[in-house]
Amino acid sequence: MGSINLTLFGTPSLLVRSSASWKGFRMPITLSSSRSLLSKAQTLDSELSPGPERSDDASESMVRTYARRKKAKRLVGDVEKNPNGEAPPDQKVANLPDIEEFAYGKVEASKTSKLVLKKTSNTVEPPAHWEEVLEGIRKMRSSEDAPVDSMGCEKAGSLLPPKERRFAVLVSSLLSSQTKDHVTHGAVQRLSEKGLLDADAIIKTDEASLASLIYPVGFYTRKSQYMKKIANICLEKYGGDIPRSLDGLLTLPGMGPKMAHLVMNVAWDDVQGICVDTHVHRISNRLGWVSKPGTGKKTSSPEQTRISLEKWLPKDEWVPINPLLVGFGQTVCTPVRPRCGVCSINELCPSAFKEASSPGSRAKKSSARVKKQ
């Protein structure tokens, strides 16, 4: 059986039973060093994979296109014709609506088959003290042990050949949404043992079997359907590999912006944008790092947050920001009852003690009341 070294998502403690290779892998991942590791990956990426849409200066101004699934299937001929899922040439997308306008509902849904991100970064002044805040979070994270500490993003099938590894990453990303890390890990393990991290094998398996294998990941019925559709598309259009571009990934059912960026980062080592999940979205807003243009109000979707964040956050932080804030969100800056009392940057946080804090420290609660008044 495939004793494939599948390391994804799991908390370290849950994965301890997996072999020394896991330990060896995990060690460099914990917090303080995750940053340098990720930076290395990015540097390596720049050197090794000079794709047509690299994030260097030359391509900075390059127009990026987004194909929205569903309409994309019907309208995005360019993506479908191109085996690598490359974006169409600039001139073809020059007149398309800006993705930012789309994110704020300024573009009719009927016109969003493709979207253009005209400007990516450094168009806005960074918020005050952001570096100090980030450093503070790093320090807190190095003493906590968050579930995310295993990876930051999933890393599946690290011992597999590249193409198989990419497919494994894609599948585990799909399964991971709205699902606890260790649950995802178990499901991927079962798939792996059956050789079902492969497009060819998946299309030969019925949905019910897939569903029972991935159970109890969130929305397992839908995901089993998505898996079959994705496997079909990957076989037909990408030779069993996964799409190479954001566009192509977004064409796949079950692949939204969050997972598409994650897969681009992890499977292709290609940072196209910030991977914004619920934690990054929530914390960025609490910190006052993002806002709707003009209004200064909180962003109302992860996509808005991504756009807002990409306008000022330096690119070398685009990858590490995710594992950093996710772990912080799992341990300190939790969705409900955030532990502002133990947060070392609460004096820099405009939202500190503004929500009911965790019943761990009375002092904080009283602080909360004081601040509210």
Partner DNA sequence: GTCCGGTGTA
Partner DNA sequence: TACACGGGAC
In the complex, which residues of this chain contact DNA (CB under 7 A)? 9, 69-70, 147-148, 150-154, 176-181, 183, 215-222, 252-260, 262, 275, 277-279, 302, 322-323, 326, 329-330, 335-337, 359
User: Minimum Å distance from CB 96 to DNA?
Assistant: 19
Give the per-residue SS3 of the chain. Answer: CCCCCCECCCCHHHHCCCCHHHHHHHHHHCHHHHHHHHHHHHHHHHHHCCCCCCCCHHHHCCCEEEECCCHHHHHCHHHHHCCCCCCCCHHHHCCCCEHHHHHCCCCCHHHCCEEEECCCCCCCCCCCCHHHHHHHHHHHHHHCCCHHHHCCCCECCCCCCHHHHHHHHHHHHHHHCCCCHHHHHHHHHHHHHCCCCCHHHHHCCCHHHHHHHHCCCCCHHHHHHHHHHHHHHHHHHHCCCCCCCHHHHHCCCCCCHHHHHHHHHHHHCCCCCCCCCHHHHHHHHHCCCCCCCCCCCCCCCHHHHHHHHHCCCCHHHCCCHHHHHHHHHHHCCCCCCCCHHHCCCCCCCCCCCCCCCCCCCHHHHHHHHHHHC
Beta-carbon neighbour count of residue 310 at 10 Å?
22
User: Minimum Å distance from CB 367 to DNA?
Assistant: 18
Is 258 considered catalytic here?
yes
Q: Which residue in 223, 228, 237, 258 is the catalytic one?
A: 258
Residue 136 or 254 having the CB closest to DNA: 254
Measured CA distances, 181 to 154, 160, 172, 293, 346 (Å): 9, 21, 10, 34, 28
User: Minimum Å distance from CB 332 to DNA?
Assistant: 12
User: Minimum Å distance from CB 185 to DNA?
Assistant: 11
Residue 32 or 178 having the CB closest to DNA: 178
User: Minimum Å distance from CB 255 to DNA?
Assistant: 6
Respond yes or no on whether the N-terminal peptide bond of residue 216 is cis (omega within 30° of 0): yes
Residue 128 or 356 having the CB closest to DNA: 356
Residue 15 or 151 having the CB closest to DNA: 151
User: Minimum Å distance from CB 208 to DNA?
Assistant: 12
Residue 125 or 359 having the CB closest to DNA: 359
Residue 62 or 308 having the CB closest to DNA: 308
Residue 104 or 195 having the CB closest to DNA: 104
User: Minimum Å distance from CB 112 to DNA?
Assistant: 12
Q: Would you say 170 and 263 are in contact if contact means Cβ atoms under 8 Å apart?
A: yes
Active site residue ranges: 258
